[in-house]
């Protein structure tokens, strides 16, 4: 009896199954060019799928604005049906070409450069000896806002053309024959200023959006992995992307509405961004800043899921060595170390 009790007391504790989903993986840093290509490709794939929702959002935001038609759109699906019945599939995809041009320039910078800019800020702020093992939130916010603003500085003309093409309805119908004609027409009539119209609100918007999307995705994914809630796999990416899409939409929707209306306005309609914001508040109140919120949420949420999943998978396809998959034995050893660490930590408390 005593021998049995001694044997039981000396037996190591049974390993509890890890709460993480899927196979545990450890990432090593992918090369810079792989991140750039993966970000641009993933964003373009996501844009093609979600572009009708983006067109719906733009139509809902600009209707009633001078140069547009009287309010005839209400609700997501009704707006999609109206556009489709009046303009066909092409109406839902107006502005796709400049939209893809925008993603190739914009997302390549805002997401592809994010990790490297984050590392750069960490190196500048912290010495090698004092550098934390986990990147602080404020460093991630700095990196996200920096890459978001830098991306707009490069890709803004493509955004102007995309919005103008999408907003071709009512009195604006037939305003531009195609994206090339739009670039040429805007430059001829409005000069370089026209192509950079609304750049300031767009910089503000995308600095905020990048914090809401890329930074949120980065923080939530890290938390899920390091807390052993999920492994670094597709389910983890899916949850993180949904959260990023929601946060990005809530934070950026007011700036997005002002940006869209200002970009699509006539040269003399608004004196500036502040005047546009004041007119919007006076005419529509607080609700006006969230016009098109539901299609924006559907679009950005879906876009984030598709983009981040494509981005992560593209990195694995292009650089398989960037992800190391642990064997079952390694997973058991890692689980044992994690359990011992938690029990030691609990005993100290």
Query: What would the pLDDT profile of 285-317 be if each residue is shown by its tens digit?
Result: 888 888 878 877 887 888 899 999 999 999 888
φ and ψ of 12, to 5 deg: -65, 150
Residue 20 pLDDT level (bands cut at 50, 70, 90): very low
Q: What average pLDDT does the segment 15-31 reach? A: 48
- Separation in Å, CA 260 to CA 28, 120, 167: 39, 33, 9
Contact between 55 and 84 under an 8 Å Cβ cutoff? The reply is: no
- Separation in Å, CA 191 to CA 185, 197, 275, 329: 9, 10, 22, 65
Per-residue pLDDT tens for 197-242? 878 878 887 888 899 899 999 999 999 998 889 888 889 999 999 9
**71 half-sphere exposure, CB direction, 13 A CA radius:** 7
Q: Does residue 332 sit in helix, strand or coil?
A: helix
| 26 secondary structure, DSSP code | E
Average pLDDT taken over every residue of the chain: 80
Write down the pLDDT at residue 232. 85
Write down the pLDDT at residue 240. 94
Q: Does residue 323 sit in helix, strand or coil?
A: strand
- Least confident segment among 4-13, 57-66, 340-349: 4-13
pTM, 2 dp: 0.70
Residue 331 in tokens: 């997973």
Residue 165 pLDDT level (bands cut at 50, 70, 90): confident
Q: Which residues in 85-136 belong to E strands, given as ranges? A: none
């Amino acid at each position: 009896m005593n021998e049995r009790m001694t044997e039981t007391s000396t037996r190591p504790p049974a390993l509890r199954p890890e709460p993480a989903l899927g196979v545990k993986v450890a990432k090593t840093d992918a090369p810079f060019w792989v991140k750039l290509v993966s970000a641009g490709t993933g964003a373009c794939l996501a844009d093609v799928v979600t572009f009708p929702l983006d067109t719906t959002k733009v139509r809902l935001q600009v209707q009633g604005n001078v140069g547009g038609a009287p309010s005839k759109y209400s609700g997501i699906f009704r707006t999609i049906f109206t556009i489709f019945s009046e303009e066909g599939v092409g109406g839902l995809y107006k502005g796709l070409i400049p939209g893809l041009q925008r993603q190739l320039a914009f997302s390549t910078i805002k997401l592809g450069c994010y990790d490297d800019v984050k590392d750069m800020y960490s190196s500048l702020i912290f010495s090698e000896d004092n550098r934390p093992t986990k990147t602080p939130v404020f460093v991630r916010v700095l990196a996200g806002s920096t890459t978001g603003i830098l991306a707009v500085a490069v890709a803004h003309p493509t955004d102007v053309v995309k919005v103008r093409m999408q907003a071709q309805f009512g009195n604006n119908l037939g305003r531009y024959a195609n994206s090339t004609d739009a670039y040429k027409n805007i430059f001829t009539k409005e000069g370089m200023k026209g192509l950079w119209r609304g750049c300031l609100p767009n910089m503000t918007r995308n600095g905020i959006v990048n914090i809401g999307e890329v930074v949120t995705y980065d923080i939530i994914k890290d938390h899920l992995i390091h807390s052993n809630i999920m492994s670094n796999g597709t389910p983890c990416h899916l949850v993180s992307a949904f959260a990023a899409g929601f946060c990005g939409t809530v934070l950026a929707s007011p700036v997005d509405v002002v940006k869209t209306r200002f970009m699509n306005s006539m040269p003399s309609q608004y004196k500036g961004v502040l005047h546009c914001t004041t007119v919007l508040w006076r005419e529509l109140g607080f609700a006006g800043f969230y016009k098109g919120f539901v299609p924006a949420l559907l679009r950005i949420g879906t876009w984030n899921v598709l983009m981040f999943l494509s981005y992560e998978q593209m990195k694995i396809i292009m650089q398989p060595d960037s992800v190391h998959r642990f064997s079952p034995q390694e997973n058991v050893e890692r689980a044992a170390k994690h359990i011992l660490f938690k029990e030691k930590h609990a005993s100290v408390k």
